[in-house]
Amino acid sequence: MSNFVVRTFKSYPELVPLASFIGLAVGGGIVSIVYSIFTKSDVIVNKNKETPPWELIKGDQDRKLFTINQKYKEIPELEELKKDIGSYKY
């Protein structure tokens, strides 16, 4: 298999950049998926968990990658609603 690839790239050297860009795009897609699974709160892998991950985020917690002069504060009405809904089973 690798002999075929090497022979093809020697015969057609213009395919090397194309294969490189395609490999880079596939690798970037895989890295993006893995990053989202482990760091984003709205991605669920285990659906048998009691509490959804977005319910664990506090009102004053920053979840953005980059923010400028933005302050988060808890909203009292939302916190009361979360307490009321907390007894409801999904």
- 71 in the same domain as 54: yes
Q: Which residues span the domain enclosing 90?
A: 46-90
What pLDDT digit, counting tens, does each position of 37-74 carry? Answer: 888 777 777 767 676 767 777 766 667 667 777 777 77
Of the candidates 39, 27, 43, the one whose C-alpha atom is nearest the C-alpha of residue 65 is 39
Of 7-16, 25-34, 79-88, the range with the lowest mean pLDDT is 79-88
- 87 in the same domain as 50: yes
- 61 in the same domain as 27: no
- 90 in the same domain as 75: yes
* Number of structural domains the chain divides into: 2
What pLDDT digit, counting tens, does each position of 16-39 carry? Answer: 999 999 999 999 999 999 998 888
Which three-class secondary structure state does DSSP give residue 90? coil
**pLDDT (0 to 100) of residue 14:** 93
Q: Is 69 left (phi over 0), alpha (psi -120 to 50) or beta?
A: left
**pLDDT (0 to 100) of residue 73:** 74
- 50 in the same domain as 34: no
**pLDDT (0 to 100) of residue 13:** 92
